[in-house]
Structure 1
């Protein structure tokens, strides 16, 4: 009995001691300058009631306090040449590691507010950047970057792998601030493992010049930047995928997929080799060319119905390299090759609306395309010294495109009827070369900069089109119906080249400690030569006869000079830029073989304005205005009749003026740290002066139409978008709402009569996500789209189409590393022509078994489109034309696949 009491006392003693010990945690973060570059040697001091600690940042700008007992503490940051900076923090007592928001030190004193950080902050909004902390989102160990992005509020990934951020398409991807595989989105999102990612940043990138001067008066590019964890920036990772199966609809060929990737990161050095081949419309590494099926539940293989038209066979391979050759000198770039073959069978219903009639056309089209592309890009980026920066990016590419198309059309125009067979065969080659150069000199006086921007581009195209048409037209209004037969065979040879040069100069001078004045000049010239030779082909002898009236050699030169001034100020939370530019332009065109010459001069006043108000650390508001000049396309100004499609004749107008656009946009972004909700909204208004529009003419007593071009005023477009996300029950349930609206006041002329077409496209989407980690992931989704158009001409009939869909998708994680997935959707379409309208029911399933440590090996059995209903339906409205299109898509097939993933990184501390 005595021994029992002794044991109890010992246990209680240990328990009391353990309870009395102070719980500690790790606190860490990153310090950068105002340009986002890591700062080395920053002294970081931690002050609390029981703690006083000090560390310095390493070469990556990172600091770590290993044993912090206090929940509330203050940090101060100091470095010679930068302001003293301090913040108060409150850490989450339940988390062993507290990752702090990145700290940006300023070179000059600036009023700052204190904020509270609650554990890991998922989203931080700072000026032109929305930063997502990857640690705040739970994904499985085998997940790729795409699956991580799908959990981030305000970001959407469609089935083709395209990423939209706050309603705008992501155009480029960077890794640690540098382009990865020429910035291709899919290559990064479907190759990089999610567990190596530190942060995902969505950046409104205004270009190299704006990043240095801070003056932003152009249209930004949406860029996704991925920062890699410090302990994952050294290592190797890759994957190998192979699979095969059967196609229920095409028993003569099987379905296959294969891909590989190998990546090695050694700090500043990155080497990646990727490749893929498949005939399942699934291009894992698209390089921006190949349209493949994306997926919702992971990125190794497709688990969604393909949303791309036709059947694709795709092959691609690429190499990406990055390294720091010397201190301050970084090189990066690579080579890519893509080849895609597409077979599409479709039906298009076309309504061409005129004052007293509607021309209806029903086209059955079978087309085959074969495209190949080589591209090499290389960038040299040099911080020559503390005052001089140089960036040079040459790019060369070579494309080949082959098209074969056969169509059967029935066209009606009241009592007139035309039936035709129209076959085309085209071959085109496009070599292209361009080089971008940017140089900046930073003077000793802070804020004084001089930079030069230059872009030189050469583009050439050789294209031959062979056209063969057979048609019969019947006039049923006559007592004896009259039949007219037409045989048309032609060879159209096109040659063109475009040489363009852009040179920009900018000088920035500080006015006060918080304001700058920029003087800029830009010269741009485009020299374009086009030769078009048309030959009629004798059907019996195949002899080609030149047609001088349809051939032309037309050259034109577009030049512009722009001189501008911008003023930028910073009033604590408000940053503003106002400016204007004077822009004289000149367009000269000439035809050596004819007496045709064009000369047009214009002078534009181009104002710009930008206001950005930081409401707090997680909310901001931005207002932008800019003007832009657009020159007409060559097909719009070539002074000849193009009859290569006899049913739709095009006539150019050499006297077209350039368009001038006025664009106003408003953006609001907010994230709530307290409840995790987020709201992103965009509004924009565009008004175009001298808008280039079409004049559609119905040729009397026929079903044929002519298109001319002219300038007019009155065009405007209003667009709106919102995305709202909020957790409903912690991380178990999440609500996502997003919607968009596009209202266009479009202008066309129909038989020389002005027509105003008011087109509204409204879309609303709802999605509820359900997540229990390592047990189930599921979502319920619905969407509705309305496409409606009204005309001001009384005899025109307004038109509208509706699309509504419901869907469910989910994955369940079963014992012994089994995974089952189901994806179901039902579409409802109305308002389309009867020959086009379908309501597809789609179902995908797969069963997967994982093997080895960390689920390195996975075997999956997949069934795609089990109901065999996958069909693409959409509507497009252009002028007085309403296109209702239905195309084949990859339908029911089964696939068994194997996926092997390997990675080796330094062991975590």
Structure 2
């Protein structure tokens, strides 16, 4: 007990020390749609910034929301089975949030290699982990871990290296249980040779406390843990590549990894202008980046890991768009063209220090840091036509921004002598500060009834905002009987944001202070949650039942205009989790949890932002936080002897007080006013399955997979409520052939239907269909020559605009290995040989259809030299 008191004293001292750190959360929201403009529920959305990344799955209406983004500059990636990955850089220029314009995903063919089973059990299922034996999924000598992942049933690896497990994003990677390149999964899976891996474990991670207590609530994070073979824990691996191509393309990279027991050092760096790691995304990107990972365990008591990443990316995106806005008596048309250049620099650091003074006490400290800068320059032209009223707008936008983020998290656990009794404490501070300067110029030419008028608008905006967040909590667990436990917990969080915005109009060369657009605004969001959980642990049945009460307070103070608002809510949140294991190869689990999302800073500000007169945005200080109820169930079954694997899942989500955008046209103009309101009626029901079966001594594999969803979405069009019911389903069939040193070959085909019906009679129901087929593989000739190919064909119907095409994409490559131990490789790549990577897409939402076309990196060829050295074992 004396040791426990000393540990508590140490905990208090460390908490006090780390409370000097500061930090902020930003909110990022948007929607993921297909090229027909219909939602893609379950799409994997990831946000990366210098120091970290986050991942979620899109809701039933395609919407997503991040409330804990730690940087104003970030890269958003959206991925969905059967679609090209979308990657674009964004900057939060005002307040602490941004609403991303609808993201459209273009169909593609991302193949999934199937399972080849050897003599050992290839798959093992436990409560929260599906473990694959790497030896059961052999790959070509010299391949990295990413090639093994492509063969695992239910696992997808897209062309950017993003990994999904049953449609959920894998957001973190570990090696032997320790962080490896943090959340940069794409870098990590290319940094380790496949032949040193023993197991690949996909874990539902509920956090540090859940690992120690078994009390698991909320939505888990998908983590990939790679275990290294014991005789391969000592050695090194390095790979250098240099490539040049036509159209002035180039790609150089270096990655290296050194291991000695528990000590590991890894580096990854690249200089390229071939849209790699973001590849195939919009615009042309030049990227200079490097990452360093270190981890060590000096003794059984103390271990640490740290990651540092640097990224400088310059992107030039040229886009055109045609928008049709269908209203009651007429259609509002808008044609626009924009040219955007962004140059960003990101630095990020994160790590963990773990200390185990003895078997009863565990302490973990996790610091994070990031600093980002961005310089943007954009110009564009748009024309809006509405009956006989036409408005032309020339725009120019220059912006410079920087942001700082700091965070420290502390977790402590003490186990008492009585088995099952323990105490946990967690707490931390996060701080963020951002400065943004923007120079906006809009030149309007308005024509009505043959009469022209002009208006010039030039505004300078300087905005500084900072957020300080604190959180803490504790848990106490007490055993009741041999198999039952009761847990009491408390969580507190507070975030306080301050924003000062100075706006000046430039009139005849003079800067004039604009009091309407200038603002000094603060808001705070405070929650207290008290809960109790009852847990039962049996041989086959485990379950947890919980009840939580959570009052929340949302306060806002507009100091400039002497306006104060306050919203109080109270939620009773039951929770339940049940896992039943029929056998070591078969299990069923059920989960329910609730959570809330607070409004973003810009959504709350009760002032009009008229930096674009055609879309004036006014916040609503009376917004309530959203509350989401989530239920899901999943069945897992594998046959270790026959090698097949089956997973199936069902989920339901309902959102109360959903925050939606409202738009209202200003009479006799082409301008509109956008705002926000709470509404109910949002829900989503979805299901998925995946079945994989090998044949002929596991040389041939068949994999069936499919999903479907029913979504109920609510929107407001000209203040009229419109309910959109969206039903979408997709079926996929994959056939894979694996003949060692001869061929790895896969055929994939899929069909998807997407149908939306509307409650308002003047809105036409819409249905799109997509048939897609493709082939991807590698053929091996002799020992040294490899021919690779990736072909995709897509056939669309239900699209009524000529912008929409049926693209054919083909990539070929040839590799020749030489030098001693095949250390040297010459590689010739041909990208997009039909030159149809056109960047054309369609978004359909509510009463609006938007057709877009952006510049993308099309057909080019690249010749590369690759040099590898490696040594593992004794």
TM-score greater than 0.5 by the shorter chain: yes
What residue is the counterpart of 2:312 in the other structure? 339
What residue is the counterpart of 2:467 in the other structure? 498
What residue is the counterpart of 2:375 in the other structure? 402
What residue is the counterpart of 2:729 in the other structure? 762
Query: Any idea what SS the aligned residue of 2:212 has?
Result: helix
Contact 1:355 1:793 in 2 (8 A): no
In the alignment, does 2:477 pair up with 1:508?
A: yes
Query: Any idea what SS the aligned residue of 1:182 has?
Result: coil
Give the distance between the partners of 2:194 and 2:717, measured in 1 at CA.
54
Aligned ranges for residues 174-213 of structure 1 at < 5 Å? 174-213=174-213
In 2 relative to 1, CA 697–872 (structure 1 residues): closer, same or farther, beyond 3 Å? same
Between 1:317-326 and 1:782-791, the stretch displaced more is 782-791
What residue is the counterpart of 2:497 in the other structure? 528
Deviations 1:183-225 (A, max 9, x none): 3101111111000000000000000000000000121000000
Shift of 1:813: 0.8
What residue is the counterpart of 2:111 in the other structure? none
Paired residue for 1:739, among 686, 697, 706? 706
Give the distance between the partners of 1:729 and 1:875, measured in 2 at CA.
44
Between 1:831-840 and 1:420-429, the stretch displaced more is 831-840
Give the distance between the partners of 2:562 and 2:317, measured in 1 at CA.
44
What residue is the counterpart of 2:136 in the other structure? 136
Query: Any idea what SS the aligned residue of 1:147 has?
Result: helix
Aligned ranges for residues 687-766 of structure 1 at < 5 Å? 687-766=654-733
Paired residue for 2:643, among 676, 683, 686? 676
Aligned ranges for residues 136-535 of structure 1 at < 5 Å? 136-247=136-247, 254-283=248-277, 291-292=278-279, 306=280, 308-475=281-448, 478=449, 481-535=450-504
Give the distance between the partners of 1:188 and 1:856, measured in 2 at CA.
21
What residue is the counterpart of 1:804 in the other structure? 771
Query: Any idea what SS the aligned residue of 1:146 has?
Result: helix
Deviations 1:568-612 (A, max 9, x none): 102321111110111111112112221211012121111111111
Deviations 1:356-399 (A, max 9, x none): 33323232222111121101112110111111100001111001
TM-score by length of 2: 0.84
Query: Any idea what SS the aligned residue of 2:186 has?
Result: helix
In 2 relative to 1, CA 445–198 (structure 1 residues): closer, same or farther, beyond 3 Å? same
What residue is the counterpart of 1:562 in the other structure? 529
In 2 relative to 1, CA 836–401 (structure 1 residues): closer, same or farther, beyond 3 Å? farther
What residue is the counterpart of 2:627 in the other structure? 660
Give the distance between the partners of 1:327 and 1:423, measured in 2 at CA.
59
Contact 1:118 1:673 in 2 (8 A): no
Shift of 1:129: 0.1
Give the distance between the partners of 2:379 and 2:707, measured in 1 at CA.
37
Contact 2:763 2:847 in 1 (8 A): no
In 2 relative to 1, CA 630–554 (structure 1 residues): closer, same or farther, beyond 3 Å? same
Shift of 1:344: 1.5
Give the distance between the partners of 2:731 and 2:175, measured in 1 at CA.
33
Between 1:746-755 and 1:437-446, the stretch displaced more is 746-755
What residue is the counterpart of 2:21 in the other structure? none
Aligned ranges for residues 584-663 of structure 1 at < 5 Å? 584-663=551-630
For structure 2, the residue ranges without an aligned partner over 5 or more in a row are: 1-116
What residue is the counterpart of 1:829 in the other structure? 796
Contact 1:437 1:454 in 2 (8 A): yes
Shift of 1:131: 0.1
Contact 1:322 1:332 in 2 (8 A): yes
Contact 2:319 2:855 in 1 (8 A): yes
Q: Return the index of the structure with the highest Cα Rg.
A: 1
Contact 2:401 2:435 in 1 (8 A): yes
In 2 relative to 1, CA 875–617 (structure 1 residues): closer, same or farther, beyond 3 Å? farther
Query: Any idea what SS the aligned residue of 1:212 has?
Result: helix
Deviations 1:300-354 (A, max 9, x none): xxxxxx3x22211111112211112333200111311011111122222333343
Shift of 1:878: 4.8
Give the distance between the partners of 1:438 and 1:877, measured in 2 at CA.
46
Shift of 1:230: 0.5
In 2 relative to 1, CA 427–879 (structure 1 residues): closer, same or farther, beyond 3 Å? farther
Give the distance between the partners of 2:759 and 2:151, measured in 1 at CA.
45
| Count of residue pairs brought into register by the alignment | 758
In 2 relative to 1, CA 432–877 (structure 1 residues): closer, same or farther, beyond 3 Å? farther
Give the distance between the partners of 2:850 and 2:768, measured in 1 at CA.
11
Contact 1:349 1:836 in 2 (8 A): no
For structure 1, the residue ranges without an aligned partner over 5 or more in a row are: 1-116, 248-253, 284-290, 293-305
Contact 1:347 1:836 in 2 (8 A): no
In 2 relative to 1, CA 888–429 (structure 1 residues): closer, same or farther, beyond 3 Å? same
What residue is the counterpart of 2:516 in the other structure? 549
What residue is the counterpart of 1:841 in the other structure? 808
Give the distance between the partners of 1:612 and 1:885, measured in 2 at CA.
46
Shift of 1:528: 0.7
Query: Any idea what SS the aligned residue of 1:171 has?
Result: strand
Shift of 1:877: 4.5
Give the distance between the partners of 1:877 and 1:519, measured in 2 at CA.
47
Shift of 1:833: 5.6
Shift of 1:806: 2.1
In the alignment, does 2:865 pair up with 1:898?
A: yes
Give the distance between the partners of 1:635 and 1:833, measured in 2 at CA.
36
Give the distance between the partners of 1:785 and 1:418, measured in 2 at CA.
39
Q: CA RMSD in A?
A: 1.8
Shift of 1:708: 1.4
In 2 relative to 1, CA 505–242 (structure 1 residues): closer, same or farther, beyond 3 Å? same
Shift of 1:854: 4.1
Query: Any idea what SS the aligned residue of 1:871 has?
Result: coil
What residue is the counterpart of 2:113 in the other structure? none
What residue is the counterpart of 1:59 in the other structure? none
Contact 1:745 1:758 in 2 (8 A): yes
Contact 1:354 1:796 in 2 (8 A): no
What residue is the counterpart of 2:36 in the other structure? none
Shift of 1:529: 0.6
Contact 1:717 1:744 in 2 (8 A): yes
